[in-house]
Structure 1
Amino acid sequence: MMRPWFLPLLLVLCGSAVATATFLRGSPATAAGVLAAFLVLAGVNSPLIFPRSIGAGEAQRRSEVDGRPVVYWRPGCTYCIRLRLRLGRRARRLHWVNIWRDPAGAAAVRAVNDGNETVPTVVMAGRPHTNPDPDWVREKLSGHPS
């Protein structure tokens, strides 16, 4: 449970320490800027920016019914964050599976990536795509209803 929050918590603690030291040196404006930057980094690396994750089995069932892609991801993954941010509101159209919380999701990713847990892995129409270009995913989503 704590694993997805480790990096964001570490960023908040480090940012607080650096901001406090900067403030004590007499630079309150710089300290505020440093703290704000660390808080933004913590937020972007937290699970909060991703739609609610579901299990791999449930995601596959839903995908078969509605035809929407399944995205396997993990917190702290830079490429997952890039995909999520570049998709914007369209990200809610996908079924998200956090492989750190779902062993079946991690196994599905390893099965299509030569035993590696390479994410994001997007499964569209039964075909896996490892770390696809966000623009390509957005283009494919334009054919799916909201």
Structure 2
Amino acid sequence: MMRAWILPILLVLCGSVVAAAQIVKGDVGTAAVLLLVFLLLAGVNSPLIFPKSIGAQEAQRRSAVDGRPVVFWRPGCTYCMRLRLRLGRDAGRAYWVNIWRDAAGAAAVRAANDGNETVPTVVVAGRSHTNPDPGWVREQLSRAV
């Protein structure tokens, strides 16, 4: 759990230091802007922008019932963020599995990617797709029940 928050915490701390240095120089406006930028970066890199993660076994069970894709992801992954942001509101319809919190999810990703934990890995109808196009994932979501 803590590993997912290391980058966001570091971004907040660095932003605070940079903003404090600007305040000491007397440039409060720049300090506020820089702190805001670092806070936004921390938010985007945090697990908060992703839908609630569930376990791999539960996600695969649910997917077998309704056909929705299972997305294996990890915090800090730029490709995962791209997929999440490009899916928009539709992202909540997929089943998201954080491989840093779920050992079975990490094992499933390694099995699909020759031993590598390459994410995002999307599973649709039992077939794995590594770093698929967000438009394709959206299409799969629209086909699901």
- The structure 1 segments of at least 4 consecutive aligned residues displaced by more than 4 Å after TM superposition are none
In structure 1, the residue matched to 2:50 is: 50
**CA apart distance, 1:140:** 2.3
* Matching of residues 19-34 of structure 1 within 5 Å: 19-34=19-34
Question: CA–CA distance in 1 between the matches of 2:94 and 2:17?
Answer: 38
Three-state SS of the structure 2 residue aligned to 1:123 is strand
**CA apart distance, 1:89:** 0.6
RMSD: 0.8
In structure 2, the residue matched to 1:72 is: 72
TM (norm. structure 1) is 0.97
In structure 1, the residue matched to 2:6 is: 6
**CA apart distance, 1:139:** 2.2
Question: CA–CA distance in 1 between the matches of 2:124 and 2:136?
Answer: 12
Question: CA–CA distance in 1 between the matches of 2:77 and 2:133?
Answer: 15
Q: Cα deviation per residue 1:43-84 (whole Å; 9 max; x = unaligned)?
A: 001011111101100000000011100000000000001100
**CA apart distance, 1:28:** 0.8
Three-state SS of the structure 2 residue aligned to 1:142 is helix
In structure 1, the residue matched to 2:60 is: 60
Q: Which runs of 5+ in 2 are unaligned?
A: none
Three-state SS of the structure 2 residue aligned to 1:97 is strand
**CA apart distance, 1:125:** 1.1
In structure 1, the residue matched to 2:137 is: 137
1:108 aligns with 2:105: no
Three-state SS of the structure 2 residue aligned to 1:61 is helix
Q: Which runs of 5+ in 1 are unaligned?
A: none
Three-state SS of the structure 2 residue aligned to 1:128 is strand
The sequence identity of aligned pairs, in percent, is 76
Question: CA–CA distance in 2 between the matches of 1:54 and 1:116?
Answer: 21
1:85 aligns with 2:94: no
Three-state SS of the structure 1 residue aligned to 2:117 is coil
Question: CA–CA distance in 2 between the matches of 1:143 and 1:105?
Answer: 24
Question: CA–CA distance in 2 between the matches of 1:36 and 1:8?
Answer: 13
